[in-house]
Structure 1
Amino acid sequence: MLTSFRAATSAPRRVAMAGGLVLALSGGYALAGDGVSSDQILNALTAKPRVTRSMAAPHPDQAAAAAESKFIASLRNRPTRSLSLTERDEIATIARDKPNIELEITFDYNSADISAKALPQVEALGKALSDPALRGATFVVAGYTDASGGEAYNQDLSERRADSIKHALVEKYGVTAADLVTVGYGKTKLKNPDNPTDPANRRVQVVTMTDKAPTQ
């Protein structure tokens, strides 16, 4: 069985989070709901990152690149709930230009338990992340919710859902735990702010942050 965490459901008037999530990797392929194969995931996660910064400077800022690498290395083996708001925001900023894909991952109602119908898609992700082409890379697994419910509850649920994906990838597919950085954003970064309760807002984001393990 997949290791997972159950969200608290004891408050009868608490607004429940619906089970549908999207595993979204910062803006590349939009393949949610298509039954994306492990090869498609692998191709997307090894794609050349988008270049959005100014082309005026022919050489990257080595100091900035070194600082980014150091920051990413510092996230490895960190518990999800240990990340500060500043660190979460910095992760989101760095992730914007990284390789990406979108996958539909659903969870049990008001829960962080991965649903049975989502298991084939999790398997495809696990196969991709355990491929030799991605061995040693560092990935961010970020959880999000829609705007229904309280801020603290949504933050906790988003972290639990990110943790559920991580545990499945580690225990079922042998992905190295230190290579998976988990972070929760709750309802603070809606994918569709014009419709705060849109199911598209309930998602988990996975981003290739580095192409190899940092030097220890």
Structure 2
Amino acid sequence: MTRISTLSLLTIGAALSMTAGVALAGDVVTADKIVNALKPTSATRSLSTTPPADPSVSAKETSFLNSVRNRQTRSLSMGERQEIAELAASKPKIDLEIHFDYNSADIAKSSTQAVAELGKALSDPSLKGSTFVVAGHTDAIGGEEYNQGLSERRADTIKRVLVEKYGLTGSNLVTVGYGKTKPKDPNAPMDPTNRRVQVVNMDTKTAAQ
């Protein structure tokens, strides 16, 4: 078993795009659709009663996730960011389009409803006990250091809204920024589709209850 687990990630950038199927530009994905996209499979849902195929791998994942809980986004090392990406590679996810004000981490008014739907979805009882990764991404316009910081601030903004307005537990939301290093479309690095925040359901039972 490889160490890959996909997180539901939000899509962030000057124009944001989350991962879970593919939401058409301008569409507001409903809370129900987000919930369905992020629900763990029946196999993963039974982890509490069925031993995992490789307990040592599961234990390592849990230990790593616990080590990055409550960490400031900018404090994560390059190695930790990469490990989160590897763990997030195969878990339930969804693509949402969330816009931010230009050159800012402030959510645009036009995306208020999209964020509200996300908040409702992650508060759904069927997702209780899950840890979500909120990962910020930018396009390739601009410097690497600047984009890295911008992606981190936008991920932090989403987390803050989810905690303050929708009552999610902060330790169950792990934020990470990737700047322009992981474009959604490597063949068009400048394209707005690369500006996104990914939200991934890590489906761990170690989340605070």
**Normalised-by-shorter TM-score class:** 0.7 to 0.9
Q: Aligned-pair distance for 1:213? A: 2.9
Return the TM-score normalized by structure 1.
0.82
Tell which structure's C-alpha radius of gyration is larger: 1
* RMSD value, Cα: 2.2
1:43 is aligned, of 36, 41, 49, to 36
Q: Partner amino acid for 1:169?
A: L
Instruction: Name the residue aligned to 2:47.
Output: none
- In 2, the alpha carbon distance for the partners of 1:173 and 1:44 equals 19
1:170-196, Cα deviation, whole Å (9 max, x unpaired): 111111111100000001101111111
Unaligned runs of 5+ in 2: 1-11, 45-51
Decide which structure has greater strand share.
1
What are the within-5 Å matches in structure 2 for residues 46-195 of structure 1? Answer: 46-48=39-41, 60-195=53-188
SS of 2:98's equivalent?
strand
Return the TM-score normalized by structure 2.
0.85
Greater CA deviation, 41-50 or 76-85? 41-50
Residue 197 and residue 215 in structure 1: after superposition, are their counterparts in 2 closer, same or farther (change >3 A)?
Answer: closer
Deviant stretches of 4+, over 4 Å: none
Instruction: Name the residue aligned to 1:23.
Output: 18
1:90-145, Cα deviation, whole Å (9 max, x unpaired): 00001011111111000001111000010101000000111111122110000000
Decide which structure has greater helix share.
2
Q: Percent identity between the aligned chains?
A: 57
Greater CA deviation, 31-40 or 186-195? 31-40
Residue 23 and residue 50 in structure 1: after superposition, are their counterparts in 2 closer, same or farther (change >3 A)?
Answer: farther
* 8 Å Cα contact 1:134/1:211 also seen in 2: no
Q: Aligned-pair distance for 1:49? A: 8.7
- In 1, the alpha carbon distance for the partners of 2:36 and 2:181 equals 30
Question: How many residue pairs are counted as aligned between the two chains?
Answer: 190
SS of 2:132's equivalent?
strand
Residue 192 and residue 114 in structure 1: after superposition, are their counterparts in 2 closer, same or farther (change >3 A)?
Answer: same
Q: Partner amino acid for 1:151?
A: E
